[in-house]
Structure 1
Amino acid sequence: MDPNNFVDEKCESRLYIGNLDLRITEAALIKMFSPFGNIVSEDFLWHTRGPKRGEPRGYAFVQFSTKEEAKLAKEKMHGKLVCGRPLVVRLASEKYLLEMAGNSGKAVGEANKSGLTSSCSGQMYRSAKIAAIKNKLKAMEEEGPSTKKQKQSENNSGTDNL
């Protein structure tokens, strides 16, 4: 069994559920998503400090036993009105990749803040770091050696006057 394949399978069967009304409870969330398959785990996120401590954050993660169950739940529940608000349901990996596309550094920070500790987030964290490094290298290459030469000549001209 390939451990990387297991990680991919786990990522593809985990759903991000966003735009949750604050009245929705963990039990209600499980009840909404259980018709689509076997729920392996559920992470309902709460504010842990500040004035909103103990209140729901408005999003959660649900892990199904298979990616097919997760995809079915996504198809059926995305956009569905619950307490007057349309649910946002995506594969957790999609949600993370969309954030990364917007700002790779911010996505890495958000993954750390939200407490994502699965091996899936670890793999995505590394991918985000690699993407950030590649972007930095590309920016440095575009700057080119002319900038370095210009800085060196400025430094040298300053020392000539001594």
Structure 2
Amino acid sequence: MQDPKSMVDEKGESRLYIGNLDQRITEANVIKMFSPFGKIVSEDFLWHTRGPKRGEPRGYAFIQYSTKEEAQLAKAKMNGKLACGRPLVVRFASERYLAETANPLKTACDAKKPSIACSTSGQMSRSSKIAAIKNKLKSLEEEGCGLKKPKLQTDSTP
């Protein structure tokens, strides 16, 4: 009989966290994006279960591959790839947990992004927020998933 702890470790090695998903990305989209890298044995797409956002996607999912090698390939190919203008965050499920517990401010204030100035509390400055929004809008326009501005009618005649 196998030690239950070792089974969890094996599962964690082939289970990926997929984060920063746009609200328009569906469960089927996630499966379609990640199926070329191997056999998906399970997929968990998370939804809000209560509150004002009930029934809306939470913006992340988990995918379990049949092997560790398939998961490594998917992680290497998909991490940082743009989906509807947003860079996907793909990590091993166990890495995500370890990264958050090691430094809870890291998600709000990533030192790898010098263009975003962070204060000691983990909050972005106002100018950094504006720059981030401008970059996001630019990437949405480039990706083609951006919302097109409706043309305003200046003439009120039918």
- Give the structure-1-normalised TM-score: 0.61
Aligned to 1:92: 93
Structure 1 unaligned blocks of 5 or more: 104-162
Aligned to 1:2: 2
Rounded Cα–Cα distance in structure 2 between residues aligned with 1:65 and 1:59: 20
Q: Which amino acid aligns with 1:52?
A: K
Rounded Cα–Cα distance in structure 2 between residues aligned with 1:102 and 1:81: 25
Rounded Cα–Cα distance in structure 2 between residues aligned with 1:2 and 1:8: 12
Quote how far apart the aligned CAs of 1:8 are.
1.1
Quote how far apart the aligned CAs of 1:7 are.
1.8
Rounded Cα–Cα distance in structure 1 between residues aligned with 2:101 and 2:71: 22
- Give the structure-2-normalised TM-score: 0.63
3-state DSSP of counterpart to 1:42: strand
Report which of the two has the higher share of helix: 1
Q: Which amino acid aligns with 1:13?
A: S
3-state DSSP of counterpart to 2:28: helix
Q: How many residues align?
A: 103
Q: Which runs of 4+ in 1 moved over 3 A?
A: none
Aligned to 1:45: 46
Query: CA RMSD, aligned part only?
Result: 1.1
Greater Cα radius of gyration, structure 1 or 2: 1
Tell me, yes or no, if structure 1 residue 64 matches structure 2 residue 65. yes
Aligned to 1:77: 78
Rounded Cα–Cα distance in structure 2 between residues aligned with 1:44 and 1:6: 22
Structure 2 unaligned blocks of 5 or more: 105-158
Query: How much identity, in percent, do the aligned residues show?
Result: 79
